[in-house]
Structure 1
Amino acid sequence: MYADDHPQWITLFTRQVQPFWQQQVTIHHLRRPDGVLLHWYLHQPKQPKAVVFICPGRIEAALKYQELVWQLAQEQYAVVVVDHRGQGFSDRLSNNPHHGHIDQFQDFVDDLEAVVQHATRFVAGLPQYLLAHSMGGAIAALYLAQHPHTIEKAVLSSPMLGIQTGSTPLWLAKTIAVSGALLNRLLSPRKPWYFIGMEDYRYVPFDENELTHSEARYQMFRDAYESNPDIQLGGPTFNWIAQAFAAIRAAHQQADRIAVPVLILQSGADAVVDNKGQLAFYQKLSNAHSHIQQIDGARHELFIESDRYRQPALEALLNWFQPE
């Protein structure tokens, strides 16, 4: 396997990873009670040793996880990845398909439970593990706390258990989000509004990104979105942010209900989520085998990071999912 800064890395990605995704990952659909159609993806090796459910973050489509799914496949894992409602190829929830919008954050949680139940029919009898990133971390935490399940272990990568608000005090950011969401519902209930300063999807050059140090992996991520306009997503709406703050509060309140061991992978140079919130959440977990591990210097997107940051995260993930 070439390092991501090696000229041959992109050749490997285009000649092995992408063909694997096209040929060995199948697309499935699930209609929810409210009519929303979800897309989810499945890889099944001939003799899988377990199944990993992947719960992505905001703006993410399953396509962003091609390399990780390929690597998990080399370890003989079956893999299920969901496109959340309003993201990827799943149904959008607003008059503008670029809106990062949700009516109730709980819908994400209940969708995950439904996909896990539905996908289990294809991978029955296998040990089940859960990997969740960023927004998916909050979704996964609430799922593990609220729903009966057979997940044995979970990994939360840069989980959204606190949001960085920059120079704006947290209380003020929450007040603006909630007030804006209420005003939006009152004045324009069928047309969500972007949060202040947000806009439709735009291509962000690598030099301007705060997600990863890896130019090659960042380019593959952006190329996938440029080649598939239907998965492009812009900034969040007022209601998404208001719901995210509420979900984070609920995840902290319900953390002690999570019975399974949880590994939190923390990005040391994260500019998106609040690492202090992750530590506070970790301290509330009830399973004594849970663990938090910081990848020093890593940016938010651990699994599209440069190898020096990504490899420790990948090794921690694989070790965590090994049978005891």
Structure 2
Amino acid sequence: MSDAPLFNEIAKGPPNGRAFWRMASDGVRVRLAHWPKHEGTTGRGTVLLLPGRTEYIEKYGLTAAELAERGFDTLIIDWRGQGLADRPDEERALGHVDDFDEYQLDLTQMLALAGDLDLPRPFTLLAHSMGGCIGLRALHNGLDVVGACFSAPMWGIVMSKPVRPLAWGFSWALHRSPWKLALSPGTARQTYVLAEAFDDNMLTTNREMWDMMRAQAKAHPELTLGGPTAGWLFAALSEMQALSRLPAPNLPAVTWLGTRERIVEPAPIHSLMARWPKGRLEILQGLEHEVIMEAPEVRGRVYDSIEELAEGRMATTAA
């Protein structure tokens, strides 16, 4: 374990945050960061924050600061292939893994760091988008958390009916070939927040948070990521299909989903949460993909649910 860069000037996280390098068992170096709770607050344990595809540690500095005010430590990771973690190719703009099991190797290092730092229990999972896919697999693997809070989890990807079989065929044909690092059709090398305008963006309805994400991307473009590779697409489709065949894990969980979701597929989320015996689905009217990047009152509702999970008092019926 050694210190890694943490760009506090754009993260705006709690004081005394630290970042670390960790080496996964296959030799890939990932970056993690720990932000402590605020002094004087009653400790509620540690939030294990699993970000989505294209994301990076600093994007969640404000989230960690708001959780710190509620007594939570936060531990977060740059997955392989994004942020400052090792990337598989000189073409750093493209996100890639050969298999989603690789992300579990990264998560193993996250848990090892939590032990090395002796972070306070209980551990509560907060997982967004692709992090929700990785987190669901981890729960099936026995991840030691008291509950899980999902934000628009990637248990399916939005595609039209004609495109879906083409996506499977395209990605299957290339995923074991030298062309596995080819950019997936319909995606771009430039990161989304710099390529698109705020109006009708698919991430957030909150201009302040949108501007924050753009400012971060401009200040440190090395953190950003463009579209996925064909290999990543096949790995993602395969993992989501495999997870859909499994029963719901036996622990409390709450999932947050906006009615304007256009990135991940809502149907698998509704399906899994309907059969999650200790689960609750919260629908947010008029919101997009990133509910943690919305207005303070929305973020506050998500944090309330994390407190409920950490303290073992989550109701299974949406408020």
The normalised TM-score by structure 1 is 0.85
Assess, with a 3 A threshold, how the Cα gap between structure 1 residues 16 and 72 changes in structure 2: closer, same or farther: farther
Find out whether 1:85 has 2:119 as its counterpart: no
- C-alpha deviation, 1:122, in angstroms: 1.4
Q: Higher helix share goes to which structure?
A: 1
Q: Say if 2:250 and 2:278, in contact at 8 Å, map to a contact too.
A: no
Offset from partner CA, 1:277-313 (integer Å, 9 cap, x none): 111222443xx22111111211001111234644433
Superposed displacement of residue 169, structure 1: 4.0
Aligned residue number for residue 212 of structure 1:
204
One of 154, 159, 166 as aligned partner of 2:153: 159
User: 1:23-54 deviations in whole A, cap 9, x for unaligned?
Assistant: 42100111112211110000123563300000
Paired letter, 1:305: E
Q: What are structure 1's unaligned runs of at least 5 residues?
A: 1-14
Counterpart for residue 251 of structure 2: 260
- Could you tell me how far apart the structure 1 residues matched to 2:175 and 2:112 are? 32
Matches of 1:17 and 1:290 in 2, distance apart? Answer: 35
Tell me how far apart the structure 1 counterparts of residues 33 and 10 of structure 2 sit (CA, whole Å). 15
Percent identity reads 23
Q: Distance in 2 between matches of 1:30 and 1:308?
A: 35
Instruction: Say how many residue pairs are matched.
Output: 300
CA–CA separation in structure 2 for the residues paired with 1:85 and 1:155: 22
Post-superposition offset of 1:125 = 5.2
Matching residue within 175, 195, 216 for 1:181: 175
2:186 match: 197
- Give the Å deviation of 1:201: 1.8
Q: Provide closer, same or farther for how the CA distance between residues 177 and 188 of structure 1 changes in structure 2, counting only shifts above 3 A.
A: closer
Aligned to 2:19: 27
Report deviation, 1:60.
0.4
CA distance in 2, matches of 1:97, 1:271: 26
How far apart, in 2, do the equivalents of 1:321 and 1:268 lie?
Answer: 27
Deviates more, 1:201-210 or 1:75-84: 201-210
Deviation (angstroms), 1:18? 4.8
TM-score by length of 2: 0.87
The residue that corresponds to 1:4 in the other structure is none
Query: Are 2:269 and 1:274 equivalent residues in the alignment?
Result: no
SS of the aligned residue for 1:33 comes to: coil
Is 137-146 or 242-251 further displaced after alignment? 242-251
Mapped to 2, the partners of 1:24 and 1:103 lie a distance apart of 36
Q: Please tell me whether residue 138 in structure 1 is matched to residue 129 in structure 2.
A: no
CA contact (8 A) 1:142 1:254 kept: no
Q: What is residue 4 of structure 2 aligned with on the other side?
A: none
Cα drift, residue 20 of structure 1 = 4.1
